[in-house]
Structure 1
Amino acid sequence: MASSDSLKIVIVALLILSIKSDGLGFANVDGINSVGSEPPNCFDKCLGCIPCEPVLVAQKGSAGEYYPEEWKCKCGNKIFNP
């Protein structure tokens, strides 16, 4: 019975460590962790403009509202949908 309990503890510990190491739900952009999806692959998404890089863009809402962010691809001063 003690062996069974030990096995359960080891399995739970491994699950916790695997979730923590994957960064579940977080994306690292410029060294800053952000909650949400991972940045898109912006390869060939900026109509030939280089460098085409993923950026978080705030969506505009009415005054006093929370501004949700979404991933876009940016090259120079232009923003593209991934």
Structure 2
Amino acid sequence: MVLSSNSENLQQKRKNTVLGSKPPGCVDKCFSCRPCMATLVVPSHQNKGRKFKPLSRGDDDDGGYYLLSWKCKCGDKLFQP
């Protein structure tokens, strides 16, 4: 039964594995602003330039491809990690 337990542990580890990048450590990345937290953002396709908007569930997508990136966020400001 030891094999069964090891097999279950391996399956649980696989379930916990997430594809893609992981969030950055945002300690001291937002200057004196607190709390500074990692957030996943996509470039705003409505505005030209280097503007970003936070990604949230249920956002309407027009079917285009948008590069996702991690930023550090405090309030309504985004910072490079």
* Larger proportion of strand: 1
TM-score by length of 1: 0.57
Note the residue ranges of structure 1 that are not aligned, 5 or more in a row.
1-5, 26-34
Within-5 A mapping of 1:2-81: 10=4, 13=7, 14-20=9-15, 23-25=16-18, 36-60=20-44, 65-81=64-80
SS in 2 for 1:16: helix
| Moved segments of 4+, more than 6 Å | none
Q: Between the two proteins, what is the percent identity of the paired residues?
A: 42
Query: What's the CA shift for 1:68?
Result: 2.2
Query: What's the CA shift for 1:10?
Result: 4.0
- The structure with the largest alpha-carbon Rg is 1
* Larger proportion of helix: 1
TM-score by length of 2: 0.58
* Number of residue pairs matched by the alignment: 65
Aligned-residue CA RMSD (Å): 2.9
Note the residue ranges of structure 2 that are not aligned, 5 or more in a row.
46-61
Higher RCO by CA contacts (8 Å cutoff, separation 6 or greater): 2
Counterparts of 1:64 and 1:15 in 2: how far apart (Å)? 36
Counterparts of 1:74 and 1:17 in 2: how far apart (Å)? 31
